[in-house]
A and B are shown apart, each in its own frame.
Chain A
Amino acid sequence: SAVISQKPSRDICQRGTSLTIQCQVDSQVTMMFWYRQQPGQSLTLIATANQGSEATYESGFVIDKFPISRPNLTFSTLTVSNMSPEDSSIYLCSVQGANTEAFFGQGTRLTVV
């Protein structure tokens, strides 16, 4: 299994501002994943981040709103840009194990006011 450190663990932000979430893994991984978890909902994949290339975004998510960096094999950031209350959610960083199982960070609980 992988140990994933995510920060901040929570934040309250003003609408119109941006927040960058950091994800650090204790081992080198090819792919890192960013999910959104809205209250009472399933996890929704935002994008897949590979080192050295642009992130691949899922339907409904765009780079301008959720820019992602992947500077090396152990680190990634997700920025939530120009936030609105609808962006209030838990954001989760994830990496994949040998049996395609997902390992998660502790999540970032974002509240936009």
Chain B
Amino acid sequence: GEDVEQSLFLSVREGDSSVINCTYTDSSSTYLYWYKQEPGAGLQLLTYIFSNMDMKQDQRLTVLLNKKDKHLSLRIADTQTGDSAIYFCAESGGGSYIPTFGRGTSLIVHP
């Protein structure tokens, strides 16, 4: 079945850029998503990218997609303490409309 992998932790200094990486196995993925989960909250959709795109930028967020390598990344510029959260990568497609989620990357931003 489909699989989505992420590293579990990332620690960055405030003001630096954060890059969270994700790999997936389903070559027929149509959409790829990034979600943010703050403590005690549900998942908030941050951004998504179609599989025929290489890059999508939205303010401080940049999503890069390497479809050949099935690699997705989320770059957060000028990382702030409020960006501390768990970030989930997800993909859907290939006949399934239900997203498959990774285990989440816990981003810790320290002064």
Contact = CB atoms under 8 A, between A and B. Distances in A.
A103 interface: yes
Interface stretch (A12-20, A37-45, A77-85): A37-45
Interface in B68-111: 88, 90, 92-93, 97-99, 101-104
Contacts of B92: 100
Contact of A107 (B42, B50, B97, B98): B42
Given A92-B43, A96-B97, A102 B90 contact: yes
Nearest to A6: B42
A99 B43 contact: no
A104 B50 CA distance: 21
Interface in B15-71: 30-31, 33, 35, 40-45, 48, 50
Contact of B101 (A42, A99, A103, A107): A42
Interface residues of B, number: 25
Which among A6, A9, A41, A43 has the highest number of chain B CB atoms within 10 Å?
A43
Contacts of B31: 99-101
B41 A99 contact: no
27 contacts: A1-B45, A6-B42, A33-B98, A40-B8, A41-B103, A42-B4, A42-B102, A42-B103, A42-B104, A45-B98, A48-B98, A96-B97, A99-B48, A99-B50, A100-B31, A100-B92, A100-B93, A100-B97, A100-B98, A102-B99, A104-B35, A104-B42, A104-B43, A106-B41, A106-B42, A107-B40, A107-B41
The 10 closest A-B pairs by CB, nearest first: A104-B42, A106-B42, A43-B101, A104-B43, A107-B42, A42-B103, A100-B92, A42-B101, A100-B97, A105-B42
Interface of A: 1, 4, 6, 9, 33, 40-43, 45, 48, 92, 96-97, 99-107, 109
